[in-house]
Amino acid sequence: MSLDPVLDLDALDLSRRLAAGEISAEALMAATLERIAEVNGAINAIVSLRDADDLLAEARAADAAPRKGWLHGIPMAVKDLVQTAGIRTTMGSPIYAETVPVADEGLARRLRAAGAILIGKTNVPEFGLGSHSINPVFGPTRTPYDVTRSAGGSSGGAGAALAARMVAVADGSDMMGSLRNPAGWNNVYGFRPTWGVVRSDPLGDTFLHPLSTNGAMARSPADIAALLMTLADNDPRLPFGRAPQEYLQGIDADIAGRRIGWLGDWGGALAMEPGILPLVEQALTVFARLGCTVEPVSPPFSADEMWESWRVLRHFAVASRLKPLFDDPGTRALLPPKAIWEIEGGIGLSAFDVQAASEIRSRWFARAATLFDRFDALVLPSAQMWPFPAEWDWPKAIGGVAMDTYHRWMQVVVPASLIGLPAISVPAGFGDQGLPMGMQLIGRAGSDAALLQLAQGYHQATRWTDRKPPF
């Protein structure tokens, strides 16, 4: 199987060549569709692919039209949790298997406004629950580095499509590591921005649930910075917003002198499969070579308290979103057990339970702020285990330690998610079985641009994403 060299380019390189007329949007679309036809059957990353003739016609129209923005003529597949006009949006659920929205939500509107051609969707778990992109509508998504293994999730389709060179840049969302876990398992970058940088539309409640955010995935931090500038929104109808920064300009800053704290397995509180911690420790030596200070950090907060806070607040958030489906007997019968568990957990909460969980969150935020007086970034692995067999629903144990919920094996992402901190997963390399792993760089709230600089310096020193999958 040969790869068209144009598909190996980063999105910013594609943008420059399209603008200069060195390549056409039609040729890029043709190469993209050919690549999808060759490899997507084994990976199952892109779903609800639009008609090829329609896409080629849209690409020709882009070639003939004035440039809308930096994504002009670039094919993109949007995560299948995002409403897209004219493109099936299933959320991985049989309830919505045939749903075709009549309007875009804000993220898709911003992509189209920047010139992107939306070719279809990227696969997800049902309702985005869990970090394995498997659902009864489309089946599982597999990492292209070993198609017997999971690509992670919930942005697993996006991560796998990037790694397999079916797209150059992708959106994603992250509540519980959904941008970071699949980035690590597909040898790409996934960035969860500070909560409030990229926001959803002003629909329903906009005050109570600051756990999930949209973000960006790519094969380079520079592409993530460019996409983040497109996705960032300062809609005055939404509370708690953060003004967009200039994420791309200055991304190549010298990172010498930056201070990095290594949290490891949180003092033994987080079960880890063999090989993960040594791999990340080896990756951290790159920062030391670049002039950064790297030092271990003792557990700064109780992992058990954080988990209790997370469990309650996630119950609250998921139940608030999915309870209407639970209340209808017809749709309740089609909900997966993990959704029912979350909803029933949320229904059983009192206001005082939520308040107590938020007080834990508040104490962790205050404690984390003192850490960032000492460090520019904190580091954890992106996942606690290597990509697992794609036919699993979720891992039941890590190294003999039982996982008591469908998402307990993802606990390593909670420290950033619980308090809305920015976190970028960067490739850490490959284990003995050739499987990829990542590490999270976590920063102070609002330090998105500085984190992207750290990631860019690391990227230029390692170029891990140049190591392509075996087809």
Tens-place pLDDT, residues 232-261: 988 899 998 888 889 999 999 999 999 999
Give the burial string for 302-339 (b: 16+ CB within 10 Å, else e): bbeebbebbbbbbbbbbbebbeebbeeeebeebbbebb
**pLDDT surpasses 90 at 308:** yes
The count of other CB atoms within 10 Å of the CB of residue 45 is 32
Quick one: pLDDT at residue 471? Answer: 83
Does pLDDT of 1 surpass 80?
no
Burial-class residue 153 by CB neighbours within 10 Å (0-12, 13-18, 19+): buried
For residue 173, the domain's CATH number is 3.90.1300.10
Bridging pattern class, strands 169-174 and 213-218: antiparallel
Nearest-angstrom CA–CA distance, 28 and 18: 9
Half-sphere exposure of 277 (CA within 13 A, CB side): 14
Residues carrying an active site annotation:
79, 154, 178
Q: Distance (Å, rounded) from C-alpha 171 to C-alpha 108?
A: 9
Q: Which domain holds residue 222?
A: 13-305+352-466
Inter-residue contact 428 to 439 (CB < 8 Å): yes
Q: Give which of 461, 455, 428, 427 is closest to 443, Cα–Cα.
A: 455
Decide: 380 and 276 in contact? Cβ < 8 Å: no
What whole-number distance in Å separates Cα of residue 286 and Cα of residue 399? 28
133, 125 contact by CB (below 8 A) = yes
Q: Phi-psi region for residue 3, left (φ > 0), alpha (ψ -120 to 50) or beta? A: beta
Q: Is residue 321 part of a domain?
A: no
For residues 218, 449, 373, 366, the Cα torsion angle rounded to the nearest 10 degrees is -70
Residue 199 has pLDDT above 90, yes or no: no
Structural domain contains residue 310: no
Model pLDDT, residue 35 = 98
- Residue 391 CA to its chain's centroid (Å): 21
| 3-state helix vs strand vs coil in the chain, percent to 5 | 40, 15, 45
On whether residue 337 sits in a domain, the answer given is no
**CA 411-203-227 angle, 5° bins:** 60
| H or E segment and range at residue 437 | strand 436-442
d(CA 141, CA 125) in angstroms, rounded, equals: 9
What's residue 231's pLDDT? 97
Supply φ then ψ for residue 347, to 5 degrees: -60, -35
Q: Place 432 in a pLDDT band, splitting at 50, 70 and 90.
A: very high
Per-residue pLDDT band for 29 (boundaries 50, 70, 90) equals: very high
pLDDT of amino acid 233: 83
pLDDT band at 36 (very low <50, low <70, confident <90, very high): very high
CB atoms within 10 A of CB 39: 22
Confirm whether 313 is domain-assigned: no
Query: What is the average pLDDT score of the chain?
Result: 97
Average pLDDT over every residue of 373-388 = 98
Asked whether 120 and 48 are in contact (CB, 8 A), the reply is yes
Determine the pLDDT at residue 288: 98
Contacts of 64 (CB under 8 A, 6+ apart): none
Distance, CA of 67 to CA of 69 (rounded, Å): 6
Tokens of 17: 């060549």
CA distance 149 to 44: 12
Going by pLDDT thresholds of 50, 70 and 90, the confidence category of residue 2 is confident
Q: Is the pLDDT of residue 8 over 80?
A: yes
What residue has token string 């999270």?
440
- Determine the Cα–Cα distance for residues 272 and 258; give it in Å rounded to an integer: 27
Residue 8 tokens, joined? 């190996």
* Domain contains 4: no
The answer to whether residue 77 sits within a structural domain is: yes
Q: Which residues contact residue 327 at a Cβ distance below 8 angstroms, ignoring those fewer than 6 apart?
A: none
- Structural domain contains residue 329: no
Whose tokens are 């976590």? That residue is 442
Q: Which two tokens stand for residue 57?
A: 């016609």
Q: Does residue 402 fall inside a structural domain? A: yes
Number of domains forming the structure of the chain: 1
Give me the mean pLDDT over the 185-211 stretch. Answer: 96
pLDDT at position 243 is: 84
Cα dihedral 123, 127, 133, 138 sign:
negative
Q: Where are the beta strands (DSSP E) in 74-229?
A: 75-79, 117-122, 169-174, 189-192, 213-218
Alpha carbon of residue 107 to chain centroid? 14
pLDDT digits (tens, 9 = 90+) for 106-162: 999 999 999 999 999 999 999 999 999 999 999 999 999 999 999 999 999 999 999
pLDDT computed for residue 294 by the predictor: 98
What is the DSSP pairing of strand 213-218 with strand 189-192? antiparallel
Q: Are 173 and 214 in contact (CB under 8 A)?
A: yes
Q: Give whole-number Cα distances, 109 to 89, 159, 256, 353, in Å.
A: 15, 22, 39, 38
| β 423-430/436-442 pair status | antiparallel
**205's tokens:** 């409640």
Q: How many residues does the chain have?
A: 471
Residue 37 is predicted with a pLDDT of 98
Q: Which of 45-59, 148-162, 198-212, 340-354 has the lowest mean pLDDT?
A: 198-212
Distances (CA, A) of 458 to 72, 200, 433: 29, 31, 24
